[in-house]
Every structure is written in C-alpha cells, then in structure tokens.
C-alpha cells in the first residue's frame, strides 16, 4: 500500500525540472518522433531479455 | 480511470526538451493521483533513466513512489506480449501494450505514432498527452 502525497509529488516534479534545466540534451533540435525512434526501449528490452537467459 | 503513461511522455515533460501538453498531463496526474491512478513498469522507468541526469532520476523515483508502485516486466504474461507482436508492434512496444492490457488500465498515453496508428480493436484507448488532458477534463 502506497501513501500518496500530492504536495510531495509536485515538489519532486519541480525539482526534476530544476535539475534538468541545467543539463544539456543529446537530442536538442530533434522532433518528437525522432527522439522516440532512437529505439532506446528496444535496446533496453533486448538487453534485459539477454540477461534473463544467462 | 487508470492510466499507463509511456516513457516518452515523462521524457517530454521532464527532460531538457519539453512539450507543454506533456508537462500539463504530468502536473494533472500529480494533482489528481487519487482519482487518476497511474501504473508503471520497470522498462518505462529504465527508459526514463536513460534520459535524465542521475540526480533528476532519483527525484523521478521519489515522484513515482508517491504515486504508484513499480511493476516488474517479467510479471506480464508472455502470451499477451506475443499477441501484440503478431499484430506488428516491435517487441518492446508489444510488452508495453501487453502491460496496459494486463493492468486493466483504460488509457495508454503516448506520443509514439506506432502505437497511435494501431488503435483498432484494443481493450484500451491510446491517447496523446493533449488528447488525454481533454479526455480527463470532460
């Protein structure tokens, strides 16, 4: 059972935005679909599957 | 109404390059988590991790922990994923579609066109962040 806390959730979101405002993006200038098409998910999933068969 | 929010929505709401609708959706979910529960699987978490700094990712986990629990990918029935793969989704996308069905969520929120083009005969809706905000405001 989780204890939901709206105030804390909003605080964490704000903190993430502050932290990421200082970071540089590897995909600045790319469209939404170009970012999605980087196939990060496919790569992560293949790695997980491979690890599960070891 | 239960939502599964795809990794691209978190990335576009919290990453360096942001889209207003994705930000608004996450803000709405944070404000209304009691009435709009979300579910998340480990693969989505890991994809978000690869797009945030280490410190920002720590905050993301704290955020998720205030809203929901993290499900394990390997709890999702293999047959469900295989069915979506047979429909033409890539294996990782098929896993996410299977996850949405398995959790009984009403909506998968994503900006991914591959999902958005496969709306027919699904047990859940697929909406973009903008569409989802309109849907929630109805």
Give the distance from residue A31's alpha carbon to the nearest chain B alpha carbon, in angstroms. 10
Helix axes B54-67, B20-31, angle to 10 degrees: 40
Contacts of B79 (CB under 8 A, 6+ apart): none
Taking Cα atoms as reference points, which of B13, B12, B63, B14 lies closest to residue B38? B63
**Sheet of B125-127, strands arranged across:** B70-71, B38-41, B3-5, B107-109, B125-127
8 Å CB contact of A16 and B51: no
pLDDT at A38 over 80: no
First to last CA, chain B: 13
This complex has an ipTM of 0.85
Question: Who among B7, B14, B33 is closest to A4 (CB)?
Answer: B33
- Residue A43 DSSP code: H
Give the pLDDT of chain B (138 residues) as one tens digit per residue: 999 999 999 999 998 888 999 999 999 999 999 899 999 999 999 999 988 999 999 999 999 999 999 999 999 999 999 999 998 888 999 999 999 999 999 999 999 887 877 777 889 999 999 999 999 998
Distance CA B30, CA B27 (A): 5
8 Å CB contact of A20 and B60: no
Distance CA B108, CA B91 (A): 17
A1, A3, A6, A9: which to substitute to probe chain B, counting the most B Cβ within 10 Å?
A9
Distance CA B104, CA B113 (A): 22
Taking Cα atoms as reference points, which of B107, B104, B83 lies closest to residue B93? B83
B30, B78, B108: which to substitute to probe chain A, counting the most A Cβ within 10 Å?
B30
Q: Which CATH class is domain B3-137?
A: alpha beta
Find, in chain A, the residue whose alpha carbon is nearest to that of B70: A2
8 Å CB contact of A44 and B27: no
Helices (H), chain B: 7-14, 20-31, 42-49, 54-67, 78-86, 91-103, 113-116, 129-137
């Amino acid at each position: 059972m989780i204890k939901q806390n709206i105030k804390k959730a909003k605080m964490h979101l704000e903190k993430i935005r502050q932290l990421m405002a200082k970071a540089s993006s590897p995909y600045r200038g790319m469209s939404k679909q170009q970012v999605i098409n980087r196939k990060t998910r496919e790569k992560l999933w293949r790695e997980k599957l491979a690890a599960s068969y070891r | 109404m239960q939502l599964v929010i795809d990794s691209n929505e978190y990335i576009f709401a919290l990453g360096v390059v942001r889209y207003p609708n994705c930000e608004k959706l996450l803000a709405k979910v944070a404000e209304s988590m009691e009435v709009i529960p979300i579910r998340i699987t480990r693969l989505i978490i890991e994809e978000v991790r690869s797009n945030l700094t280490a410190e920002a990712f720590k905050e993301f986990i704290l955020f998720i922990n205030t809203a929901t629990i993290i499900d394990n990918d390997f709890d999702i029935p293999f047959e469900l994923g295989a069915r979506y793969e047979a429909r033409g989704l890539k294996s990782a996308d098929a896993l996410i579609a299977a996850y949405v069905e398995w959790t009984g969520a009403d909506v998968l929120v994503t900006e991914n066109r591959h999902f958005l083009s496969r709306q027919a005969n699904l047990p859940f809706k697929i909406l973009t962040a903008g569409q989802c905000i309109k849907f929630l405001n109805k």
